[in-house]
Amino acid sequence: MPGMGKMKHVSLTLQVENDLKHQLSIGALKPGARLITKNLAEQLGMSITPVREALLRLVSVNALSVAPAQAFTVPEVGKRQLDEINRIRYELELMAVALAVENLTPQDLAELQELLEKLQQAQEKGDMEQIINVNRLFRLAIYGDAANLLI
């Protein structure tokens, strides 16, 4: 069809995995939350197989834990682990900013400024979901401007 770009096929497993990652990143799935494979598959209107595969992928990166009875849980994060994560993230973000500064274009700066304004508006409204989403977009923009695939 004219005007349409190339469409990409995304497997059901990847769709479920990405949706769960998003829910985890915005705090919609709280630590201790129990995810039952069958129930999740029913909610999503699909068979158990892609849901189970997505859940197992998230277990492999420690985003979820296996629980009895075909279930998974969102792991609790202790203060020590959270401090460690924040320390590593801080160092990586400093590196990303230093690299990004070398590559920034006026368009990149305008995009970052727009995201900061959206973040401020979300903070004024107290819209936590929007704060998390815009903060994530801001960080991703910095990482992209850093032009370093590992960051």
CATH of the domain at 103: 1.20.120.530
- pLDDT tens digit string along 75-99? 998 889 888 988 999 999 999 999 9
Query: Which residue range is the domain that position 19 belongs to?
Result: 12-73
Q: How many C-beta atoms lie closer than 10 Å to residue 143's C-beta?
A: 19
73, 90, 113 - which closes a domain = 73
Interaxial angle between packed helices 48-60 and 12-25, expressed in degrees from 0 to 180 and rounded to the nearest 10: 50
DSSP conformation class of 63: S
Q: Are residues 68 and 83 in the same domain?
A: no
Q: Are residues 127 and 84 in the same domain?
A: yes
Same domain, 133 and 88: yes
Query: pLDDT for 3-28, tens place per residue?
Result: 444 445 568 999 999 999 988 887 88
Residue 132 falls within a domain, yes or no?
yes
Q: Which residues pair with 41 in a beta bridge?
A: none
CA angle 50, 55, 56 (to 5 degrees): 100
Domain count, the chain: 2
Q: Which H or E run contains 28? A: none
